[in-house]
């Protein structure tokens, strides 16, 4: 189905010459300040996914809450989206989604995410894409993977103390 994207696949994607690279910051095209949330105090992956679904649905009223939550959970059941080093990239395809949508979150306290390195997650890039946006989905995941490979950017994101600062750091980061 093309839905299973783990760390190994993301590494392979990074090396594919056909993947379009972001010349400007791609996050500014998929993030909004409303979907950028700093220091969420959720204690479990399940509660976090509920919060993520609510963030998207509050900002995009055409998205059904139950549909977003169900798709995020279904995708996670295929394999953890925890990439390691405390970072996760939950992502899924949504039928009611008309363009790629992103959300960026930091957590007050890292939570277990079944990542390959077993490091709890405190930094999340969440991606919803239209059902038929296969290549765009891969392109965005590749760009996120390239971004999170930069330790200094991840440190700055984690050090953010408010939503606006988190959004600005993300949107001004250069890949």
Dihedral Cα 71, 107, 43, 126, nearest 10 deg: 0
Instruction: State the Cα–Cα distance between residues 162 and 164, nearest whole angstrom.
Output: 6
Backbone φ, ψ for residue 95 (5° rounding): -65, -30
- In contact, 93 and 101? CB cutoff 8 Å: no
Dihedral Cα 74, 81, 148, 86, nearest 10 deg: 130
- Among the listed residues 15, 91, 132, 134, the single catalytic one is 91
134 is catalytic: no
Buried/exposed code over 105-120 (b: 16+ C-beta within 10 A; e: otherwise): bbbeeebebebeeebe
Instruction: State the Cα–Cα distance between residues 125 and 107, nearest whole angstrom.
Output: 12
- Which residues belong to the active site? 91
């Amino acid at each position: 189905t093309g839905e299973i994207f783990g760390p190994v696949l993301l590494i392979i994607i990074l090396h594919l010459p056909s993947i379009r690279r972001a010349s400007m910051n791609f996050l500014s095209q998929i993030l909004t300040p409303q979907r950028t949330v700093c220091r969420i105090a959720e204690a479990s992956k399940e509660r976090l996914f509920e919060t993520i679904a609510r963030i998207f649905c509050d900002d995009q009223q055409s998205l059904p809450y139950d549909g977003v939550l169900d798709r995020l959970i279904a995708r996670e059941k295929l394999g953890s989206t925890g990439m390691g080093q405390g970072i996760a990239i939950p992502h899924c395809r949504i039928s009611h989604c008309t363009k790629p949508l992103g959300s960026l979150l930091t957590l007050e306290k890292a939570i277990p995410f079944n990542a390959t390195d077993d490091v709890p997650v405190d930094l999340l890039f969440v991606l919803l894409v239209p059902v038929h946006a296969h290549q765009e989905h891969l392109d965005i995941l590749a760009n996120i993977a390239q971004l999170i490979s930069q330790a200094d950017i991840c440190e700055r994101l984690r050090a953010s103390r408010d939503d606006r600062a988190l959004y600005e750091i993300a949107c001004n980061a250069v890949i």
